[in-house]
A and B are shown apart, each in its own frame.
Chain A
Amino acid sequence: MKHSPARAALAPWILLAPFLTVFVVFTLYPAASSLWLSTRQTFGPGVSVPVGGSNYSNLFHDPSFWKALRNTVVFTLGSVLIQLPLSLLLAIILNRPDIRARTFFRVVLFSPVLVGVVFVAMLFSVLFGKRTGLVNQLLHASTGWDLDFPWLDTYVMPALIVATLWQYVGFNMIYFLAALQNVPKELEEASRMDTAAVWSRFRHVTLPAIMPVGTFVVLLSIIGSFQLFELPYILMNGTGGPEDRGLTLVMYLYQTGFQTGDLGFAAAIGWVMALVLIACAAAQRLISRKAEAA
């Protein structure tokens, strides 16, 4: 089979072509044009007027934006700090050699990921309902908790943290499981021989070994949580809840862009979000590099 050097040089570009086309047209171009779009005010994609930087300055003074930012940050922190340790714990347990029915547990715990967001919204709106919801009833029976506690109005963020926990703890568990299984067996055996306490074994052997994957999962989690939208949107029927308690950044973006029709303002919100996430990603690289050096 003859092939000319010219053909060989072309090959990489042939392989890259489909991706590059889609990438340039549907990722790079919109990213760039969204900067332009953010300097305009629109009513749908067909109608727009230039407004300069006023979208950004209005954003800065917009109480709804700050509420959304605060809600999103609170949710992200709560989610990451509660969900990830739980996933890790489950993964460590599941990784033990003496666990029976490992496949069963793995499949079952992973399954909530398969469910659509509508079901999760329905499920948790029933569970967290004011007087008839299971959560309030159980809490009331055991601790005299207020039966009318408004999980779905005023305290919707904690309810969302629990709901997304149910949804994603198994998913992150699989990632951690994968990481744990890549830890060299010899390392683990060696430390087990040493009658080292469980906690110190974890801290000095397991944790450093899974650190790269760990930071990756944390970053993914932060990025994902930061973009929370569909669940609260369905849970609260398209509104942001009373006093925007349930408003997240992407929900605010969607409301301004696709309900009010101001795609320009939505683009501005998008850019602010992008900057925050880029900062997070940069921080993750720094931390990851430091951890590897250690």
Chain B
Amino acid sequence: MKPDPSTPPPRSLAVVLISAIAIVSTALTLALGSPRRDGATMWTFARLHYDIYAPAIAEWNASGKPPVTCSVLGVQAIEQRMLSSFLSQTRSADLLEVERRVAARAFAGPPEAIGFVDLTDRLKAEGLMDRINGPSFTPWTSRGRIYGLPHDVHPVMLGYRADIVEAAGIDVNTIETWDDFARVLGPLMLNPDGTRRKDRYLLNLWETHMDALESLVLQAGGGVIAQSGLPMLDDPINARVLAHVAAWGHGKDRIAADAPYFSASGNQLLLDGFVLASFVPDWMCNLWRKEIPQLAGKVKLMPLPAWEKGGRRTSVWGGTMLGISREAKNQDELWEFAKHLYLSPDLSRRLFLEGDIISPVREFWNDPIYDQPDPFFGGQARGRLFVDLADDLPPRYNSPFGAMAVERLRAVASELAAIADATPDATVADLESHAQRLLTKVQEDVMRHARRNRFFASEVPGAAQ
């Protein structure tokens, strides 16, 4: 079919339309340009923090110092953009308030490539190392140098249904260890219709709960990463903890079930009394208050049962730091700003009142607001309870292999759960030997990965140079 060259070709609507869009949008984009970026930008991931900082930031900006603009981004967004800009050495935000897992990514390369400013000397010179709770620095330390100002402490307690427990006449002060916990509260597990799945369990725990696993392991004196930055997965303490976790969730003496945190279904299960006790770091109090207000007056806090008599009765969950980007200008001013934000007694008070978070600055712990009774938690002085545990916090060390190690820990926990399911008569000691075997294997997995990393070669025994 030969087209007739004398008739004009049909106009393509598609071409016209898209060209029109292109012209208009190009014009607008050029006209709008990029906003001028004098002053500094700060990123945070928590709306709560943003709201608390806002007046302090406004005060700073009004006082003639270089202005700071703060924005809230999603956790994944901050992580990607932070990494992307650090790796490509472009400037994104000048101050980054990031939490543990995100910050750990910045420490994966050689020290000269870490995107945060090394704050160690400033901290030492200004005496801040003594003023701030020691363990709070550990997640932001890489190869002996500190890269962030700690935001919090985050001790963990057990939040339990006091209404149910006290109605049964049980006094939680008799519970000192995890064995006590299972024994004393055991009778409260309900199973009226005798089904395999009970209607009430004691502990909110599941083997894929990475945070809970890590908290428990740290409480017991084990851990995922050692101070050297290398994995310590095959520590026998870890095996012991994981064996218990498996037995709690899957053995014939099962006491744990899953009421997922941060979900509507999990919240409902808490209200139903499906699980009696959950792991509650200070920030979880705030979440409960806001998302499950119907729990008010029904719950109380108790220290974590220890792994042996006289053992540690708390652990740690979560953590946030404020870091200064290496590409930022006016780093001295930014350091002053960071201190203005984190070391102000007023802001710390607001952080506690609005976010339930206790400050890492030791001298603030004398503040009477921590002693105020909290009706949500049955009149307990929640703040003081957490503060009293602050000294006991386990340190958490940082490593580029941290994420992988925790993931492997979870994998072992899952396998153990399967073994416990398959052999319901297995004792904790049996599970412990399985756990040790599995942990040794994953330790080697992570070590193999660590040996590959040329930027850590000096730290890793047996690594290729």
Is B410's CB under 8 angstroms from A242's CB?
A: yes
Shortest Cβ distance from A23 into chain B, in angstroms?
Answer: 23
Measured CB to CB, the nearest residue on chain A to B207 is A242
**Complex contact A242–B208 (CB within 8 A):** yes
We find that the number of chain A residues with CB closer than 8 angstroms to chain B is: 25
B197 and chain A: residue at smallest CB distance: A148
Chain A residue with the shortest CB-CB distance to B408: A243
Is B373 at the interface (CB under 8 A from chain A)? no
A interface residues with partner B (beta carbon < 8 Å): 41, 43-47, 49, 51, 54, 58, 61, 63, 130-132, 153, 237-239, 242-243, 258-261
- Expressed in whole angstroms, the Cα–Cα distance for A43 and B411 within the complex equals 27
Interface centre among A51, A239, A258, A261 (most CB of B within 10 A): A261
A260 CA / B108 CA spacing, docked (Å) = 7
Check B411 against A41 for contact (C-beta < 8 Å). Answer: no
State the Cβ distance, B163 to closest chain A Cβ, in Å. Answer: 25
Pick the contact of B76: A44, A54, A238 (CB < 8 A). Answer: A238
Please choose the segment from B81-89, B184-192, B363-371 that sits at the chain A interface, where 4 or more of its residues have CB less than 8 A away.
Answer: B81-89
B411:A243 contact, CB within 8 angstroms: yes
B88 and A58 form a contact (CB under 8 A): no
Q: Are B79 and A260 in contact (CB under 8 A)?
A: no
On whether A258 and B89 interact (CB within 8 A), knowing A43-B109, A132-B264, A153-B208, the answer reads no
Report A-chain residues with C-beta under 8 Å of the C-beta of B89. 44, 46
Please pick, from A43, A46, A131, A132, the residue contacting B108 in the complex, using a CB distance under 8 A: A43
Quote the shortest CB–CB distance from B45 to chain A (angstroms).
13
**Contact yes or no, A47 B109, CB < 8 A:** yes
Q: Which residues of B contact A237 (CB under 8 A)?
A: 76
Cα(A153)–Cα(B208), bound, Å: 10
Q: Is the CB of A46 within 8 A of B113?
A: yes
CB pair A44 B88 closer than 8 Å:
yes
Tell me, yes or no, whether B445 is within 8 Å of chain A by CB: yes
Q: What is the CA–CA distance of A33 and B229 in the complex, to the nearest angstrom?
A: 33
Q: How far is the CA of A58 from the CA of B260 in the complex (A)?
A: 37
A122 to chain B, nearest CB (A): 14
Q: Which single residue of chain A is at the shortest CB-CB distance from B465?
A: A49
Knowing that A43-B108, A132-B265 touch, tell me 13 more A-B residue pairs with CB under 8 angstroms. A41-B454, A41-B455, A43-B455, A49-B455, A61-B448, A130-B265, A132-B264, A238-B76, A242-B208, A243-B414, A258-B83, A260-B105, A261-B87
Task: Indicate whether B110 reaches chain A with its CB closer than 8 angstroms.
Answer: yes
Instruction: State in angstroms the CA–CA spacing of A175 and B411 once bound together.
Output: 43
Name the A residues within 8 Å of B464 (CB-CB).
51, 54
Q: Residue-by-residue, is B141-152 near A (CB-CB < 8 Å gives 1, otherwise 0)?
A: 000000000000
- Taken together as a complex, chains A and B put the C-alpha atoms of A41 and B112 apart, in Å, by 16
Contact A49-B454, Cβ < 8 Å, known A54-B464, A238-B76, A261-B83: yes
In the complex, which residues of chain A have a beta carbon less than 8 angstroms from the beta carbon of B410? 242
Instruction: Give the chain A neighbours of B208 by CB distance below 8 A.
Output: 153, 242
A-B contact pairs, 15 of them (CB 8 A): A41-B452, A41-B453, A41-B455, A43-B87, A45-B87, A46-B88, A49-B454, A51-B454, A54-B464, A58-B452, A63-B445, A237-B76, A242-B208, A261-B87, A261-B109
Q: Which residues of A contact B110 (CB under 8 A)?
A: 43, 47
Within 8 A of A (CB), among B83-142: 83-84, 86-89, 105, 108-110, 112-113
Chain B residues closer than 8 Å to A153, beta-carbon distance = 208
A-side contacts of B86, CB under 8 Å: 44
* Chain A residue contacts of B80, Cβ below 8 A: 258
Q: B108, A54: Cβ atoms under 8 Å? A: no
CB-CB under 8 A from B281, the residues of chain A are none
CA distance A242 to B213 in the complex (A): 14
Q: Which residue of the partner chain B has the closest CB to A153?
A: B208
